[in-house]
Structure 1
Amino acid sequence: MTSRKSETMASSIISGINIAMAELVDIWNSIGIVEEQRVERMLTVKKHIEDLLRDMITEEQALKHRIKSSIVVSQKQLDELYEEMSEEPYKLEEGQTILQIQRDLRHKVDALQKEKNDRLQELKTLQLEDDQLCVQLCATPYYVPSNTVPSHVQLKALREHVQELTAEKRSRLAVFTALRKGVVCLESEMGHDPETSLERDAASDDPDVFLLTHENIQALQLLVAQLKLKKENLISTRDKLKERATCLWNRLDCPEKDGGFPLDTQGTLTDDISRWQAEVHRLEALQKSRLEDVIEKARLELMDMWDKCLFGSTQRDSFQYYFCDVNYTEALLDAHDSELVKLRDYRDKARPLLDALEKWEKNWELFQDFERKASDPSRFSNRGGALLKETKERTKVQKMLPKLEEEMKGAVSAWQKTHDSEFLVRGHKLMDYIASQREEYKLLKDKEKNERLTKKAESSPFKTPTKRPLTNASGMATPNKIRKTPNQTVLRGNSTSVSSSNSGSSSGSSTYLSVPSSKPPTGPTKKNRILEPHQDLNLPGITYSDFTTELSRKASQEVILNSTVLLDTEKRN
């Protein structure tokens, strides 16, 4: 379509020139201009047209040259921008005119120049922020070569770097703020004035005093730890003063309310220590004037602590020299106080073992109670599930005792390794003490059993036993001969009483009870005898399972039931 318009326009120009020449010829004819003059005038017209066209051609050629030059310049600028921005070179479309190429290149150069400026501006902003963060955190700035246009990859990495530093700053700032608050709070609680530059900077309200570096945070953490340790020491000092004052109040019978001493105040730890220190000094001065009463009360405290620590006579004897001294002096009081401190320290260290032993003794007492209840036939008449509950509790206790003994055995071994000494209970090794309790209870059970058998033998009348024929399945009598066992004393009694003592089935006929003729051993008369420190225990190691096995042996192993054996007593009579 464009080609046709230009061709039509060219034809129109030629036609216009022809018409104009025709009009000129007509004018020349009417004027009567001769041929030579016509030719001259036509040459002038021709020259004029040629000059005009030549000028136009020159101008258009100049325009074409300018366009080409512009293309070269734009292409050069574009190549430089691509190189600076690390972009791939731009490829022109084929078949374009130079004017289209010029326009496209100009647009591309403008776009790249704008993108370059944007990148440089973003780089400047990010680098400024990065520099500030790196100064605060003492970090290394992200490196971007100077006098270069950053690539998209570099800008992305720089943005991520700034984000990471921002998050790190936020995290460190939270830690730093918490540490500064901790420092201020601890110093306020203790009444401690800042001494070092670090403490003064930590107590400052200026947030820019500290750089958020790892070193500064570690220094603050160390400062907080030191202040906490100092606070603990102050609390310990105050508590020791309070304990000392309380001890003196009790010894001197002058409670704090009589002295008007305020127990709870809102002051700092330093103020509290000063108050308690002054009170202790006052009480110690009062104590000097009442040494005899104070020492006697200290001795009562010692006896109480010996009992709580389960000390035997040997352990107590080491202090008997001071305990029996009647020369009441401050040195004697100091010796008593030092002994009390050692006993309290020992009790604190041995508390797990003492608590475990107390728990074992409670379960041991429950076990003995269950054993006594087991021999009471009236317990079978209990209703409401009491017997089932008792059985469950008994089983629980029986499982608990060996478990506790194993735990104590391991704890005693650890105690020996740690303290390089034996753990003693009333002067004896812990496991020997437990074994003695079992052996004592076994002897007590044996004595009670022998007493029952002796009482039964004394209350039952002696009769000559008669043989009764045994019947078989057909009802016929069958001979029954039982050889007499030597060295037996045969007691005849009622089968019901025998079955009660042996927990067997009862029958209506009378039976004879044979017991060993040797005298029954005498055992302890007290059910739960407490071992005194002066007793010497040389007992073999007895486990709980051995003890319960021995305890549950049937009486039939020592007593012979026989209805045909004659009484040795009757023979002797």
Structure 2
Amino acid sequence: MPRGTRKSELLASSLITSMNHTFARLMDIWDELGLLEEKRMMRMEEVKHCVERLLSRMINEEMAMKDRIERSILNSKKELEILSHELSLEEYKLDEGMTVLQMEKDLRVKLELLRIEKNERLEELRKLQEEDQDLCSELFVTPYYIPTGCMPSREQLEELKEHIKLQTEEKKQRMLIFSNLRSEIRHVLEEMGREPQSDLEQDAICGNEEDFTLTTENIKALKLLKEHLELKKESLLFTLNEIKEKVQVLWNRLQVPKEEQDTYLHTPKCPISTAIKQWENELLRLEELKKSNLKEVILRIREELKVYWDKCFYSTEQRNVFAPYYDDDFTEELLSQHDEEVVRMKRQYEKCKEMLDAVNKWESSWEQFVILEKKASDPNRFSNRGGSLLKEEKERMKLQKLLSKLEEELKTRIEAWEAEQGSPFLLKGHRFMDYVASQWENLKLQKEKEKQERTHKKEDSIAFKTPVKRPAGSCTQGTPSNKTRKLNGTTSIMSRTTVSAKTPLPTIKTPSKTKETPVRTPLHDSNKQTSMSSSQPGTYSEFKEAISRKSNKDVVFNSTVNENL
């Protein structure tokens, strides 16, 4: 496709035309002057040289410009390649068909943009690194690493920003933890009534929050300090409670008036150390008062000791082991021995409190069961037809099941306790199951004894009521019948009474219907079978098995029970 005529070419054509007119004008001037040909040639040569020099200079200048532009393009390409690599960008590619000037301009613009981006990145990196360095210095952590003199990529800058964000959050969390620990430590010290002593306490309490270095080691040190102070506080509270308990014991033993006790119990709240001093002074005062009232104090301690012995079900032999209890020489040493024994019994009671409570429950249930068993053996119980027999029988059976359940539970718990403590659990000097077996055996023997006593009383009553012969002449004549009719009902009754007095009394025999038939239960069957057996159960387990066998059989109850069942 032919290229159109350029304006520069038209301008060149006009320039040539202009130069032709110029040369023609020169020729006319020379003609008018009448210059010789030689002169004219010399002048024309001068004009030629002048024009050639001008055009040559212009051509040289344009060629120099072209070379400069081409060198600029090469330099720009090299710099663009370097910047693209530093900035982690793709290599810039020129469009095809571009002229030298277009290439130079395009490369120059692109190079300027990359230079601006490089400077912006470096400035942003500088600011971010300063911020990161400050945070990491406060937190004592390693800053985000970017090699010195290296141009950061966009990804590295984003990672650095994320790192700064995380460190900022970490600083906030540590500052919050530090503030909480600081307030808690200050509160504990105030409760203890103690001033900060160590450097860490001084920094944590008295220093400025901004000056505290929020390192993980310092945070851990504050946590340990808090735990240490809390342990000291608990120790002081334990000491204070011990002193209060001692004072309370002495108040009770010395019978200190209630009003005087209230002055200490209702004192205004104060630091623990101050409270310890106050209660220590009261304890010293009571100790002095105790020395002057040794006998009364020891006697009250003995009463307290007896209470703990009863709670722990101590037998007489176990109580006799503590010989100072029976010593009448009231001295400081005797008082100290009683104090130690009370403390020992308190500890033993606290150690066995749960099982002792369960034993108390068994004891109370056992007492109710024994009462119902005695009622069940009472012949006069059949005179009550109000339904109490059925209620008592149900209650007795319920208690019997409860006792069995409690015994099994206590047996398991006591065995575990003995294995853990390495010592036997004694109840009135015996192992619990042996004690329970003896109680059941004593109840069985008591029932047998009462049964024998009732049998003897019945035989004695029958022997006492056997009639003898009437003495002669004891009979009287009866009242005439007509008189009897006049006296109506009263006379008739008296007549019958008189006649019955004359009639010989037959021998009294106990009717089978009035024979005493006590209520039978599985426990009674077990007792009856046990009394008929030639050998007694050797252990409590055999005794319980015998009760279980009898309780599974049919049991004959009295008529009241059968009607309701």
- Please give the TM-score of this superposition, normalised by the length of structure 2: 0.72
Name the CA distance, whole Å, in 2 between partners of 1:159 and 1:457: 112
Instruction: Classify 1:502/1:307 alpha carbon distance in 2 versus 1 (closer, same or farther; 3 Å).
Output: closer
1:148 counterpart (141, 147, 150) = 150
Q: Give the equivalent residue in structure 2 for 1:21.
A: 20
- Aligned residue for 1:136, secondary structure, equals helix
Q: 1:281 aligns with which of 280, 284, 294?
A: 284
Residue number in structure 2 paired with 1:84? 86
**Measured at CA, do residues 138 and 407 of structure 1 come closer, stay the same or move farther in structure 2, by a change above 3 Å?**
farther
Matched, 1:258 2:227: no
Shift of residue 261 of structure 1? 3.3
Asked whether the 8 Å contact 2:182–2:204 carries over to 1, the reply is yes
Greater Cα radius of gyration, structure 1 or 2: 2
2:376–2:519 CA contact under 8 A, matched in 1: no
Matched, 1:131 2:133: yes
* Contact 1:436 1:539 survives alignment (8 Å): no
Q: Residues 40-439 of structure 1 correspond to what in structure 2 (within 5 A)?
A: 50-255=52-257, 257-258=259-260, 261-263=263-265, 264-319=267-322, 321-361=323-363, 404-438=406-440
Q: Distance in 2 between matches of 1:94 and 1:8?
A: 25
Q: Distance in 2 between matches of 1:439 and 1:91?
A: 113
Single out whichever of 230-239 and 76-85 deviates more from structure 2.
76-85
Distance 1:158 1:546 in 2: 86
What amino acid maps onto 2:213 in structure 1? L
Give unmatched runs, 5+ long, in structure 2.
463-509, 558-565
Cα distance in 2 between the residues matched to 1:56 and 1:544: 136
CA distance in 2, matches of 1:194, 1:259: 34
Deviation at 1:325, TM superposition (A): 1.0
Counterparts of 2:196 and 2:103, CA distance in 1: 76
Deviation at 1:262, TM superposition (A): 3.0
Conserved? CA contact 2:433–2:540, under 8 Å: no
In structure 2, what is the equivalent of residue 540 of structure 1? 540
Contact in 2 for aligned 1:432/1:541 (Cα 8 Å)? no
**Distance in 1 between the 2:346 and 2:515 partners?**
58
Secondary structure class of the residue paired with 2:187: helix
Instruction: Give the drift of 1:59.
Output: 2.6
* Deviation larger for 173-182 or 296-305: 173-182
Amino acid at match of 1:541: S
Q: Matches of 2:403 and 2:93 in 1, distance apart?
A: 94
Q: Which structure is higher in helix share? A: 2
Between the aligned partners of 1:443 and 1:307, the Cα distance in structure 2 is: 26
- Decide whether aligned partners of structure 1 residues 259 and 27 sit closer, same or farther in structure 2, where only a CA change above 3 A counts: closer
Contact 1:176 1:217 in 2 (8 A): yes
Give distance in 1, aligned partners of 2:94 and 2:543: 101
Instruction: Show the counterpart of 2:10.
Output: 11
Contact 2:76–2:111 (Cα < 8 Å) also in 1: yes
Aligned positions, number: 490
Q: Partners of 1:11 and 1:82 in 2: how far apart?
A: 44
The answer to whether the 8 Å contact 1:438/1:547 transfers is no
What is the distance in 1 between the residues matched to 2:60 and 2:6?
Answer: 21
In structure 2, relative to structure 1, the CA distance for the partners of 1:58 and 1:406 (3 Å cut) is: farther
Is the contact between residue 192 and residue 273 of structure 2 (CA under 8 Å) also seen in structure 1? yes
Q: Distance in 1 between matches of 2:109 and 2:437?
A: 105
2:13 partner letter: I
- CA deviations over 1:120-156 (Å, ceiling 9, x no partner): 2232223223322333232223332212222334333
Amino-acid identity (%): 39
Find the aligned partners of 1:112 and 1:403 in 2 and give their Cα distance: 92
3-state SS, counterpart of residue 540 of structure 2: coil
Shift of 1:292: 1.3
Deviation at 1:47?
5.7
Distance (whole Å) between structure 2 residues aligned to residue 41 and residue 379 of structure 1:
174
Tell me: CA distance 1:271–1:22, structure 2 relative to 1, closer, same or farther (3 Å). closer
Letter in 1 for 2:345: L
Q: State the 1:234 CA deviation.
A: 1.2
Per the alignment, residue 554 of structure 1 pairs with 554
Inter-CA distance 220–31: structure 2 relative to 1 (3 Å threshold): closer
Q: 2 CA distance for matches of 1:119 and 1:412?
A: 79
In 2: Cα distance, 1:371 partner to 1:70 partner: 125
Cα contact 1:435–1:542 (8 A) shared by 2: no
Q: For residues 497 and 404 of structure 1, do their structure 2 counterparts lie closer, same or farther at Cα, with a shift above 3 Å needed?
A: closer
Tell me, in whole angstroms, the C-alpha distance in 1 between the residues paired with 2:12 and 2:287. Answer: 135
- Report the 3-state secondary structure (helix = DSSP H, G, I; strand = E; otherwise coil) of the residue aligned with 2:313: coil
Q: Alpha-carbon deviation of 1:199? A: 2.4
* Pair 1:404–1:104, CA change in 2 (3 A): farther
Instruction: Say if 1:27 and 1:102 are closer, same or farther in 2 by CA, change over 3 A.
Output: closer
Change (3 A) 1:21 1:331: same
Is contact 1:245–1:283 with CA below 8 Å preserved after alignment?
yes
Deviation at 1:351, TM superposition (A): 1.5
Whole-angstrom distance in 2 between the partners of 1:110 and 1:367: 108
Tell me how far apart the structure 1 counterparts of residues 3 and 304 of structure 2 sit (CA, whole Å): 128
Q: Shift in Å at residue 298 of structure 1?
A: 0.9
1:249, 1:256 within 8 Å by CA — same for their partners in 2?
Answer: no
Structure 1: which 5+ residue stretches go unaligned? 461-490, 504-514, 523-536, 558-573
What CA deviation, in whole Å up to 9, does each residue of 1:251-270 have, x standing for no partner? 11222523773323221111
SS state at 1:238 partner: helix
Distance in 2, Cα, partners of 1:446 & 1:102 = 132
C-alpha separation between the residues in 2 aligned to 1:108 and 1:42?
52
